Amino acid sequence: MTQHVDKESKKKASGSLLHIASEAVHSRIKNLKRRDHQCQAFMRKVIESGIFRTLIITTISLNAFFMVLWTSYDIRYRLFRVFEISEIIFVSICTSEFCLKVYVDPLDYWKDGYNLLDVVILIIIFIPYLLRKIKGKHYRYLNVADGIQSLRILKLIPYSRGIRTLITAVGQTVYTVASVLTLLFILMYIFSILGFCLFGVSDKGDLDNWGNLAVAFFTLFSLATVDGWTNLQEELDNRNFLVSRIFTITFILLASFIFLNMFVGVMIMHTEDSIKKFKRELMIERHATMMEEKQVILRRQQERVSRLIQTQKSSKKSFGELVENFKKTLRHTDPMVLDDFGTSLSFIDIYLSTLDNQDITINKLQELYYEIVNVLALMLEDLPEDASDVLDTFD
């Protein structure tokens, strides 16, 4: 008894020591401060830039196109060197992308599921090289390793917000879809045993379609998808099973028209919710971008006002004269924020000056149009008589 208590106390002590050690290591990693903040910020900008995203998307798309050409033996033989060079470039770019992302976020990188997908794809990319190096070129499972290279195109998923939205919708439907599929499995289980007992008798039954439980499940799957159900029903009619039509119609109504449509409806509902959420996120991002632009404009206006105040202090001109000079630099295309300054007299004065500039521009355009019309009228008066007669005939 005492030995058992000693063992339990030792286990608890060792577990507590491991917990304390893991917490100490985790806190020490958190307290580590990087000294390459500028380089990290630069690399983050490079990763988040549009040029980098375009480069990765183009590389993945070209590699997928080359994989399609690679399936033809004649093209593979003729462009063997091109395929080798493109493969080296693709592997180099994918490896560089992984290294850059890990360098920027060495801890948070592993918390993102799409980053883990990239790591899995990168491992898949290196599998054929390792097998050829270890097992040789004639390894029998090497074709399988080459075949799963088609998963490379999944690297496009993190760079497409639309595809990620659909994947999120599919992930949200897992529980509901699992419940629907469970009910469908229970229904198929009941009807498979019932079909085996009704139509799988050994003397005159349809043993090919209802001879055992596995075959009955496969037959019911064909009925659920409404694929070739007429042929299955003809086999039962030829054997004079009276309840076969009731059995078939009942199962098709329950499995195809209820459960499968329920499955589709659940998918559509969650997809619509994900699309609405995606649109809300886009609106929030646009609003944030607009607010940033607004802050930039406000900061620029404040700098101009502070510059005017400093100029007034350094010169003998009044603030009104400086504002008049500032008005001359305004254009009717200049952006202006209507918040925070809409009730101040200075804003109203500058806003009215902007409207005056717009009126002046419109008046100048009208005068230009009048001059054009006057010149055209004078040109018509100066036309020779023959030309004027011709114009009169057209009139």
Dihedral of alpha carbons 368, 373, 378, 384, sign: positive
Q: pTM for the whole thing?
A: 0.56
HSE-CB at 203 with a 13 A cutoff on CA atoms is 0
Residue 56: closest CA among 122, 3, 140: 122
10-residue stretch averages of pLDDT, the chain, 395 residues long? 50 56 60 73 88 90 90 87 90 91 87 88 90 83 86 87 76 78 88 87 78 87 84 84 86 84 79 79 82 78 72 66 64 56 63 80 89 86 63 54
For residues 46 and 52, the answer to whether their CB atoms sit within 8 Å is: yes
The full set of domains in the chain, from first to last, is 37-159 (1.20.120.350), 166-272 (1.10.287.70)
Instruction: Specify the pLDDT at position 89.
Output: 92
Residues 9-26: b if buried by 16+ CB within 10 A, e if exposed: eeeeeeeeeeeeeeeeee
Record the tokens describing residue 322, joined without a space: 């400086």
Are 46 and 100 a contacting pair, CB within 8 Å? yes
Quote the pLDDT of residue 319.
60
CA pair distance 149, 64, nearest whole angstrom: 10
Helix and strand counts by DSSP (H, E) for the chain = 17, 0
DSSP states of 274-309 as a string? Answer: HHHHHHHHHHHHHHHHHHHHHHHHHHHHHHHHHHHH
Q: What is the largest CA-CA distance in the chain?
A: 133
Quick check: 351 and 336 in contact, CB under 8 A?
A: yes
Structure tokens at 156: 């496009």
The Cα–Cα gap between 147 and 244 comes to 44
Q: What is the pLDDT of residue 318?
A: 64
